[in-house]
């Protein structure tokens, strides 16, 4: 399946191990694909890796800093690695980016004392060095508290006004809040894509829920097309997909992106099992 991504925020949604990080690393030229092509602004990425890297900002899921360096010194270090050798130009870029990610006031503080959210924002500043045309962020809000998460998402929204930002995550809410378009990936392949509202519309009126006894969950799976089971107040709530009212105590619910995500991943899992 082909993905076409334009300026703004694009969400790549999938469970841990679905293949998101592998795809991001391939786009970032850190590994070669098994098959297929990648084109960026008319350029064959796989044949022009150095040229792609010059236009890319990448924030991987796991990255490290020198804990004894200040935020300012850290950014200067990465700016030099990025090829910004002119001291005046580098200083202006570092100061601008520290202000953009709201770290200017703590620029002299050692990174080792930063919170998780502050480290992530510094990571974005590093990714933005050299004015990239494409920014990739991989699982950026995992482990952040709610305040830091919203601060970070607001930052990504600002960045996405001018460049392509690919947000790879397993957190449905991040995509729902930020992204104009999204793709759902499972088992290394894209299983659905489109605007969040389009994915939701496709299952609207077809999602039903019912509180179910834990001891009888197997019965629910036998009788219905269960797409997810979630605990609410300590009790399992079963969500199913059905073209018509299933009865059996189920009530219709307004679908959201999480329902669409669970539906498509459930469908992909059933197809995968059937093919084995």
In this prediction, residue 274 carries a pLDDT of 65
pLDDT at 276 (0 to 100): 54
Residues in the chain with pLDDT < 70? Answer: 274-276
DSSP 157: H
pLDDT score of 269: 83
Question: According to the model, what pLDDT value does residue 1 have?
Answer: 72
Q: What is the pLDDT of residue 40?
A: 93
Show Cβ contacts of residue 192 under 8 Å, excluding neighbours closer than 6 positions.
183, 184, 199, 260, 264
Residues 169, 273: Cα–Cα separation, whole Å: 25
Residue 257: how many other CB atoms lie within 10 Å: 22
Report the C-alpha gap between 79 and 48 in whole angstroms.
Answer: 22
User: Is 15 exposed, middle or buried, given 0-12, 13-18 or 19+ CB atoms closer than 10 A?
Assistant: middle
- For tokens 């539906």, name the residue: 263
Nearest alpha-carbon partner for 45 in 75, 24, 66, 63: 24
pTM as predicted: 0.88
pLDDT score for 125: 93
Give the rounded distance of the alpha carbon of 192 from its chain centre.
15
User: Phi/psi of residue 170, each to 5°?
Assistant: -105, 5
- Residue 177 has a CB neighbour count (10 Å cut-off) of 18
pLDDT at 134: 95
Q: How many Cβ atoms sit within 10 Å of the Cβ of residue 37? A: 10
DSSP 175-237: HHHH-SEEEEEETTEEEEEE-HHHHHHHHTT-EEEEE--GGGHHHHHHHS-EEEEEEETTEEE
pLDDT at 275: 59
| pLDDT tens by residue, 172-183 | 999 998 999 999
Give the pLDDT of residue 17.
86
**How open is the CA angle 35-163-142, to the nearest 5 degrees?**
75
Return the CATH fold of 8-195. Answer: Rossmann fold (3.40.50)
| In the chain, domain spans | 8-195, 200-275
């Amino acid at each position: 399946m082909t993905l076409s991504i334009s300026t703004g925020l694009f969400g790549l949604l999938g469970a841990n191990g679905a293949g998101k990080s592998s795809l991001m690393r391939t786009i970032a030229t850190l590994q070669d694909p098994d098959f297929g092509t990648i084109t960026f602004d008319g350029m064959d990425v796989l044949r022009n890796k150095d040229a792609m890297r010059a236009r890319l900002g990448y924030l991987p899921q796991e990255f490290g800093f020198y804990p004894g360096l200040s935020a300012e010194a850290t950014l200067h270090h990465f700016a030099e690695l990025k090829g910004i050798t002119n001291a005046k130009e580098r200083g202006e870029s570092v100061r601008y980016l520290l202000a953009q990610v709201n770290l200017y006031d703590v620029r002299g503080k050692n990174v080792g004392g930063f919170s998780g959210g502050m480290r992530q924002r510094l990571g974005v500043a590093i990714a933005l060095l050299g004015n990239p045309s494409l920014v990739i962020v991989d699982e950026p809000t995992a482990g952040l508290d709610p305040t830091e998460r919203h601060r970070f998402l607001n930052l990504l929204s600002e960045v996405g006004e001018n460049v392509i930002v690919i947000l790879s995550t397993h957190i449905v809410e991040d995509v729902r809040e930020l992204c104009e378009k999204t793709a759902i990936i499972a088992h290394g392949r894209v299983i659905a894509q489109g605007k969040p509202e389009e994915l939701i519309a496709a299952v609207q009126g077809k999602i039903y829920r019912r509180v179910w006894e834990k001891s009888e969950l197997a019965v629910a799976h036998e009788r219905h097309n269960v797409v997810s089971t979630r605990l609410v107040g300590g009790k399992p709530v079963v969500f199913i997909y059905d073209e018509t009212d299933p009865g059996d105590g189920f009530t219709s619910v307004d679908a959201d992106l999480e329902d669409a995500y669970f539906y498509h991943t459930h469908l992909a899992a059933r197809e995968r099992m059937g093919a084995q």
